[in-house]
């Protein structure tokens, strides 16, 4: 099985401002007609991006200087609303793909959906997050490194502490975040156990 361990993520960053950004904002519902997740990145923040264009402004996800970003910076309660798994899937497929998210806090289901596809979500103190956003806004080329082992985020001369539930952190560090891969790796044990269960064996006539 391939190595699924994620101990750190590094790359340029993009910030999206605003508390309580819900999954419909991240991925508008009308695009859910697709039967696979392929191509969803084009619709990430679709309505917000259109509204910004109509207002003569540029959404961060349309900013050419942010096109290579791999780290997303957000605010409080990001990913609230419905349990739409298309939201993190679209972020994963936007340009080079969001590989980590740093925020004030995350909605629980969104957080879990991110973990399931290998996107670590770490939280930072509000003032530290503001400082990180300022640094990234001032320099689009600044590399932001999210270190899950040390629970730190580094960006140039700035270093901040971040938090992530310990069980989730261990999933990333050990590569056990992908439940499908875990299941496939243990298929022999699954088959052996299934063979001992009456409900999986041949039915007997009463």
Better pLDDT: 146 or 83: 146
Q: How many CA atoms lie within 13 Å of 172's alpha carbon, on the beta-carbon side?
A: 27
What does the pLDDT look like over 97-130, one tens digit per residue?
Answer: 999 999 999 999 999 999 999 999 999 999 999 9
Question: What does the pLDDT read at residue 205?
Answer: 58
Question: What does the pLDDT read at residue 32?
Answer: 77
User: Residue 30: pLDDT band by 50, 70, 90 thresholds?
Assistant: confident
Q: How many CA atoms lie within 13 Å of 144's alpha carbon, on the beta-carbon side?
A: 29
| CATH architecture of the domain formed by 8-164 | Alpha-Beta Barrel (3.20)
| 86 within 8 A of 115, measured Cβ to Cβ | no
Residue spans per domain, the chain: 8-164
Question: What does the pLDDT read at residue 182?
Answer: 58
Q: Tokens representing 115?
A: 């973990």
Number of residues that make up the chain: 206
d(CA 31, CA 27): 8
Question: What does the pLDDT read at residue 3?
Answer: 82
Question: What does the pLDDT read at residue 34?
Answer: 72
Q: Which helix (H) or strand (E) holds 72?
A: strand 71-73
What does the pLDDT look like over 74-90, one tens digit per residue?
Answer: 999 999 999 999 999 99
What does the pLDDT look like over 183-194, one tens digit per residue?
Answer: 566 566 666 677
What average pLDDT score do residues 137-165 get?
98
| 121 within 8 A of 106, measured Cβ to Cβ | yes
Residue 206 has pLDDT above 70, yes or no: no
| 99 within 8 A of 124, measured Cβ to Cβ | no
Which contacts of 137-143 are long-range, i.e. CB under 8 A and separated by 24 or more positions? 137/15, 140/12, 140/63, 140/65, 140/66, 141/12, 142/12, 142/13, 143/10, 143/11, 143/12
Answer whether 0.85 is exceeded by the pTM.
yes
């Amino acid at each position: 099985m391939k190595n699924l361990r994620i101990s750190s993520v590094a790359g340029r960053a993009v910030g999206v401002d605003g508390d309580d950004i819900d999954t419909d904002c991240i991925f508008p519902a009308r695009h859910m007609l697709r039967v696979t997740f392929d191509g969803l990145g084009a619709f990430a923040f679709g309505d917000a991006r259109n509204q910004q264009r109509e207002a003569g402004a540029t959404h961060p996800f349309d900013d050419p200087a942010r096109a290579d970003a791999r780290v997303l910076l957000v605010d409080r309660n990001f990913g609230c609303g419905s349990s739409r798994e298309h939201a993190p899937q679209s972020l994963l497929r936007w340009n080079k793909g969001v590989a980590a998210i740093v925020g004030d806090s995350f909605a629980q289901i969104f957080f879990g959906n991110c973990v399931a596809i290998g996107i670590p979500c770490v939280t930072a103190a509000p003032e530290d997050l503001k400082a990180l956003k300022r640094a990234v806004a001032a320099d689009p080329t600044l590399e932001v490194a999210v270190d899950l082992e040390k629970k730190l985020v580094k960006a140039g001369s700035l270093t901040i502490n971040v938090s992530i539930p310990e069980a989730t952190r261990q999933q990333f560090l050990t590569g056990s975040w992908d439940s499908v891969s875990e299941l496939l790796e243990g298929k022999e044990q699954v088959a052996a156990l299934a063979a001992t269960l009456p409900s999986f064996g041949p039915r007997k006539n009463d």
